A = this chain, B = another copy of it.
């Protein structure tokens, strides 16, 4: 369910944006890391490795653009920076250990149902949500 480059091109162009090499590289990095949400800095570092002259500013700008067109989701680990992950259509949420920082991902989700009810109830048109759980992982429950 990953976005294809063609689909990406279409989405970008149809809104008057240009498909630049920088945008393509950043998208590729996000796809490659579909299992862990990256910070802008994290994206930047990986972009640099796979070569390329891409500025950090452009990373920030591109991530926000991708979010706007629905290609990435924006998530929070409460660690002081934003994170982005490719939007694969499936809901998934995170379990973040307050002790060791370990992050687990889960696909269990009742949110869709909740969202439908909320929309009916409040007339709000929901396009994104952000859900994270904080607590203590298996390991940290024992020590400390």
**Residues of chain A at the chain B interface (Cβ within 8 Å):** 74, 76, 78, 82, 95, 97-98, 104, 106, 108-111, 113-115, 117-118, 121-138, 141
Q: How many copies of this chain sit in the oligomeric assembly?
A: 2
Contact partner of A78 (CB less than 8 A), chosen from B97, B108, B117, B130, is B130
Task: Tell me the complex Cα distance, A108–B126, Å.
Answer: 15
| Interfacial chain B residues near A104, Cβ < 8 Å | 122, 124
Task: Assess the B132–A125 pair: CB atoms within 8 A.
Answer: no
Task: Assess the B131–A127 pair: CB atoms within 8 A.
Answer: no
16 sampled A-B residue pairs with Cβ under 8 A: A74-B78, A76-B78, A78-B130, A95-B118, A95-B122, A95-B126, A106-B122, A108-B117, A109-B114, A124-B135, A124-B136, A126-B135, A127-B134, A129-B132, A130-B130, A131-B132
